């Protein structure tokens, strides 16, 4: 049987970063990526759907400065984020969080970013195998790493199995392999891995690549623009992210399985009283563009979909994991990283930075021959970011459109009164709304610090 030190399931940002770290430290690292076709990549590759924006302080979490990338990875440098409510708006020029990167952030080409991460892993000596679809992992807990028989056997669709001392699960938020592997170590009576995918916590993301009129591009260039309180659902919002050459990614995220009757159609700008179900992503995008630009433009003509961009026909649909992160069953020699461990935040889409970082930690520890420190190490590295995301998402979870206008209006007033602060950082300095926001934030912060892990390390049974 083919045998490696570290087998990595999934070749997205988390898996490639695990392979890079493991190979850099001398391990035999093999990435198994099932491979999906995309219009913006020749041949099969990882599933690279992404709005692809990085904020300044994420650069440090990721540990890769954008200067390191190949040409064509970076699309636009950002100088602000615009938060728009149904009628209020606020512009944030600074996240308020210390970072080594000077700009507000950047947008990037996700397929080229993934390919760059793959090249980096291969340059370090890792092998990246595309078209390798993992079916499952069998583990013999009696076997020590380095023993004559492998501790783990990775089963592949249509290929011979592969033996490995360590497994890094980086199969993204669908967790098709991760869930099955974790069920081996979770008591079924507690719901097993079903706890990772409760319907109310699962989000769908949809986006379109559209060429926009030059005046509109000029208006949004340098900005990531989010609309809050215009579509129903917890953490549901559309956005525009500028790409290069007059193209923008226009997308949205929303929970799966909502009932239209639970919402007042008149309260949401992008709902219509005639809707019999929650509109599709494409309907929402069309309504957003009509709402924002329909007075001046014939939207379908002036904002054409770029058919050869993105995944297929200029559009992409993808599940987003909005559960809280999980610890890994490290005593079994298994680390779960990136989207598979629940680090992606549907609240702000962010996940590449934490995927790269958790992958790198797992790869480094696997190469050193002991994953025991993984659950501590990932919390030290990304715990603050996770708490920040969960807290903010919790705070605004039941906001109605009017709440968004109120809070964005208050934020606008606060930002106008500040010279250097950011919406993501404390303190808010003035006003009743800011005090309320601050108190809510602190209370939630204490709460989530204690409970932000969906599956804790001590719940695994070996
Ligand atoms: C629409 C959208 C917008 C986003 N916007 C941003 C953003 O602006 N900024 C940001 O930082 N993050 C963003 N994210 C989140 C970001 O894309 C994820 O956090 C990131 O992709 C997670 O990386 P990963 O490597 O953990 O998982 P993934 O990128 O999902 O990679 C998992 C890989 O595993 C492979 N795989 C799955 N099952 C198997 C199997 N059985 N065998 C072999 N291979 C398998 C898949 O093909 C895939 O390539 C966005 C996500 C979406 C969907």
Give the CA dihedral 408, 411, 412, 416, nearest 10 degrees. Answer: 180
Q: Is the CB of 176 under 6 A from ligand 1?
A: yes
CATH 1.10.150.120 fits 2-78+101-198+322-389, yes or no: no
DSSP string, 38-89: ETTEEEEE-------EEEHHHHHHHT--GGGSPTTSEEEEE-EEEEE-SS-E
The pLDDT assigned to 403 comes to 87
Pocket perturbation via mutation, ligand 1, pick of 352, 359, 382 by most ligand atoms within 8 A of CB: 352
CA of 331 to the centre of ligand 1 (A): 26
Q: Pairing relation of β-strands 223-227 and 80-84?
A: parallel
Domain ranges of the chain: 2-78+101-198+322-389, 202-320, 391-451
Q: Is the CB of 329 under 6 A from ligand 1?
A: no
The pLDDT assigned to 449 comes to 52
CA of 173 to the centre of ligand 1 (A): 7
The pLDDT assigned to 350 comes to 78
Q: Which atom of ligand 1 is nearest to the CA of 58?
A: 11
The pLDDT assigned to 47 comes to 94
CA of 49 to the centre of ligand 1 (A): 7
Cβ-based neighbours of 381, under 8 Å, separated by 6 or more: 61, 357, 358, 361
Cβ-based neighbours of 379, under 8 Å, separated by 6 or more: none
CA-closest candidate to residue 424, choices 433, 413, 437: 437
Q: Is the CB of 354 under 6 A from ligand 1?
A: no
| Residue entry with tokens 């097993």 | 192
The pLDDT assigned to 196 comes to 76
**Minimum CA distance residue for ligand 1 atom 38:** 171
CA of 117 to the centre of ligand 1 (A): 13
The pLDDT assigned to 442 comes to 56
Cβ-based neighbours of 40, under 8 Å, separated by 6 or more: 48, 109, 111, 308, 309, 310, 311
CA of 5 to the centre of ligand 1 (A): 24
Bridge partners, residue 29, by sequence? 6
Distance CA(389)–CA(380), nearest Å, equals: 16
The pLDDT assigned to 182 comes to 94
| Residue entry with tokens 């030059």 | 214
Q: Which residue ranges of the chain lie beneath pLDDT 50?
A: 426-432, 435, 439
**Minimum CA distance residue for ligand 1 atom 30:** 172
CA of 171 to the centre of ligand 1 (A): 8
- pTM for this predicted structure: 0.93
The pLDDT assigned to 51 comes to 87
The answer to whether the CB of 12 falls within 8 A of the CB of 338 is yes
The pLDDT assigned to 343 comes to 86
**Minimum CA distance residue for ligand 1 atom 27:** 172
């Amino acid at each position: 049987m083919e045998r490696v030190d570290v087998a990595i399931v999934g070749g997205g940002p988390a898996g490639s970063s695990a392979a890079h770290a493991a190979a850099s430290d001398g391990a035999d690292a093999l990435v198994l990526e099932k491979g999906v076709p995309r219009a913006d990549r020749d041949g099969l590759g990882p599933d690279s759907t992404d709005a692809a924006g990085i904020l300044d302080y994420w650069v440090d979490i990721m540990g890769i400065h954008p200067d390191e990338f190949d040409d064509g990875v970076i699309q636009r440098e950002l100088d602000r984020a615009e938060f728009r409510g149904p009628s209020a708006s606020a512009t944030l020029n600074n996240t308020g969080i210390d970072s080594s990167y000077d700009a507000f952030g950047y947008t990037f080409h996700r397929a080229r970013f993934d390919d760059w991460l793959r090249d980096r892993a291969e340059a370090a000596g890792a092998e990246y195998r595309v078209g390798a679809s993992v079916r499952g992992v069998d583990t013999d807990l009696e076997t020590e790493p380095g023993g004559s028989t492998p501790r783990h056997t990775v089963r592949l669709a249509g290929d011979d199995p592969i033996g490995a001392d360590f497994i890094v699960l980086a199969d993204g938020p669908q967790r098709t392999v991760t869930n099955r592997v974790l069920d081996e170590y979770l008591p079924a009576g507690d719901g097993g891995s079903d706890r990772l995918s409760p319907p109310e916590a699962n989000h769908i993301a949809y986006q379109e690549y559209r060429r926009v009129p030059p005046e509109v591009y000029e208006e949004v260039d340098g900005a990531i623009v989010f609309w809050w309180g215009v579509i129903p659902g917890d953490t549901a919002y559309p956005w525009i992210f500028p790409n290069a050459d007059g193209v923008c990614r226009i997308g949205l995220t929303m929970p799966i399985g909502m009932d239209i009757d639970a919402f007042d159609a008149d309260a949401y700008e992008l709902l219509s009283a005639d809707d019999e179900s929650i509109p599709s992503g494409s309907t929402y995008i069309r309504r957003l563009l009509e709402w924002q630009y329909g007075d001046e433009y014939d939207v379908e003509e002036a904002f054409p979909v770029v058919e050869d961009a993105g995944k297929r026909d200029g559009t992409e649909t993808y599940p987003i994991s909005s559960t809280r992160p999980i610890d890994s069953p490290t005593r079994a020699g298994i680390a779960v990283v990136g989207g598979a461990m629940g680090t992606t935040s549907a609240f702000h889409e962010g996940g590449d930075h934490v995927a790269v970082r958790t992958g790198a930690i797992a790869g480094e520890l696997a190469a050193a021959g002991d994953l025991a420190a993984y659950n501590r190490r990932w919390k030290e590295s990304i715990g603050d970011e996770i708490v920040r995301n969960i807290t903010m998402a919790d705070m605004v979870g039941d906001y109605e459109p009017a709440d968004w206008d109120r809070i964005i209006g208050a934020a606008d007033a606060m930002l106008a009164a500040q010279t250097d602060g950011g919406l993501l950082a404390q303190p808010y300095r003035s006003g009743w709304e800011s005090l309320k926001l601050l108190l809510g934030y602190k209370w939630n912060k204490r709460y989530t610090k204690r409970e932000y892990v969906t599956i804790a390390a001590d719940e695994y049974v070996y």
